[in-house]
Chain A
């Protein structure tokens, strides 16, 4: 690829150094086919700072200033998302999995529900889950509902917390959600209402880190594992296994599979999608 005029130069050798650094420190992997993407994003960042590749490498490696690493994360992550993404999967969650789980819980006298949206990006996914829960659980206000939403990009988390979306983000959502769960403000933007916001807790954390709670009913980790190598995927999926309660469910992106990566999950086919259920191992 030819550098754009004005863009910083980055040799292949330098690029690979960045790739390794990112993998070792953040867990994200840029395979050969994704190297041009990484190259572009690095160039943009270096161009903005007005530094060359060696300087930039030194900067992100400097021990006591993680601030630039945070900026780097913000430019190298892909944050594409929208409300009610993977419609058939969301339908199944809402119409099959959630009612089943709620029924069991009520029978057991347990009115709490804890969900993890791992790699939540700008918030569309966890907010969608909250809306589905409000739709499905008749007296949700007497329930203890927590949707824990995590990401390692601070940029997206700040936007998630704001909860302000344009028309494109909400296009695929069932039409009545808009009336029930958003306040429309001027300039064509839609604000997630406070009842929904109250059940979602955003937190900055890297999935590669070791710390996690172990009492989740359901985990959503969709379109995130694609950024990892198999060894990292294995580690994260095993972490999810431990984080789920017995019988808990895990939703991955529509094309993401776990075979050969983790044991103990039972594959359940739903209408046009699948879900993984934690089984004893």
Chain B
């Protein structure tokens, strides 16, 4: 059941967060949201999270930094991270891979693609 899964959406743009959250809620997922890496880290520490949709450019702690931290931590290493970003060049993908992301999705936000990936990881 989708409601068994908690997805954490991390993006500093309320517009993006809302769009992604609405779509996920419609499909029955439990959704948490954070506006930057620091907030997201708190959430991951306090809640069970099954997958993270992660923006890159954010104030305070960016997506690469958060991803690196999580992947370095035994407790959180297994949570799939999907970077959701406007960047699309090979170099940008490479930075994501270097930070340890499990998957990479480019904006503009396409929910069919998100679903496909959720299906793969959950």
A67 near B62: Cβ-Cβ < 8 Å = no
Pair B15/A64 contact, Cβ less than 8 Å: yes
A183 in the interface, Cβ–Cβ < 8 Å? no
- The residue that B86 contacts in the complex, of A67, A157, A158, A204, with Cβ under 8 A, is A67
B45 interfacial by beta-carbon distance below 8 Å: no
Residue contact B16 to A64, C-beta cutoff 8 Å: yes
Of B13, B15, B95, B109, the residue contacting A204 (CB under 8 A) is B95
CA distance A170 to B64 in the complex (A): 30
Near B by CB (< 8 A), chain A positions 127-164 give 154, 157-158, 161
Number of interface residues of A (CB under 8 A): 18
Minimum C-beta distance from A50 to chain B (A): 20
Q: Are B86 and A65 in contact (CB under 8 A)?
A: yes
Interface membership of A196, Cβ < 8 A: no
Q: How many residues of B are in contact with the other chain, CB < 8 A? A: 24
Find the B residue at minimum CB distance from A66. B57
With A63-B13, A64-B16, A65-B107 known as contacts, the answer to whether A70 contacts B87 (CB < 8 A) is yes
- Chain A residues contacting B92 (CB-CB under 8 Å) are 154
Residue in contact with A210 in the complex, picked from B38, B86, B95, B107, CB distance below 8 Å: B38
In the assembled complex, A209 has its CB within 8 A of some CB on chain B: yes
A-B interface, 9 closest residue pairs, ranked by CB to CB distance from nearest:
A211-B61, A67-B86, A66-B57, A210-B60, A158-B91, A63-B13, A63-B15, A64-B13, A65-B86
In the assembled complex, 8 residue pairs joining A and B whose CB atoms fall closer than 8 Å, in A order, are: A63-B16, A64-B15, A67-B88, A154-B91, A154-B95, A157-B95, A203-B65, A205-B65
